[in-house]
Amino acid sequence: MSHTTVTIYYNPQCSKSRATLELLQQNDIEPTVVEYMKDPPDIETLKHLISLLGIGVRDLIRSHEQVFKDAGLDDKDLPDDELLEALSQCPTLLQRPIVVVDDSKAALGRPPENILEIL
């Protein structure tokens, strides 16, 4: 695994993010840490993450957040572009953590053990 590149989209306030980072470190992996609350991913990055994860845009959104409801994002007819724009503007809505390996595969660390499948 010496040439593997691992990136974690991380929020230090999130227990799942901390647990996932710890799990990576226990496996002798020092990932690139992207604190997405300080440095939110742009729309192209979000599209790339979604394609690596093999999920839909809505699956990447934390729909129980109050800001989700306040912004009217629970409207099922909203196009993906509007949802992506909301995610890029309000990173609180992003499911976390996301771990990317070699820019070719990704997993959501919910639970943290999910990431072991891509390492």
pLDDT per position in the chain (119 positions), as tens?
A: 456 899 999 999 999 999 999 999 999 999 999 999 999 999 999 999 999 999 999 999 999 989 999 999 999 999 999 999 999 999 999 999 999 999 999 999 999 999 999 99
**Domain holding 96: CATH number?**
3.40.30.10
- Please indicate whether residue 14 is annotated as part of the active site: yes
Distance separating alpha carbons of residues 19 and 116, to the nearest angstrom: 13
Range of the domain at 104: 6-118
Query: Is residue 1 one of the residues assigned to a domain?
Result: no
Taking the model in full, what pTM does it have?
0.93
Burial class (CB in 10 A: 0-12, 13-18, 19+), 2: exposed
* Catalytic-role residue among 3, 4, 8, 14: 14
Q: How many CA atoms lie within 13 A of 5 on its CB side?
A: 4
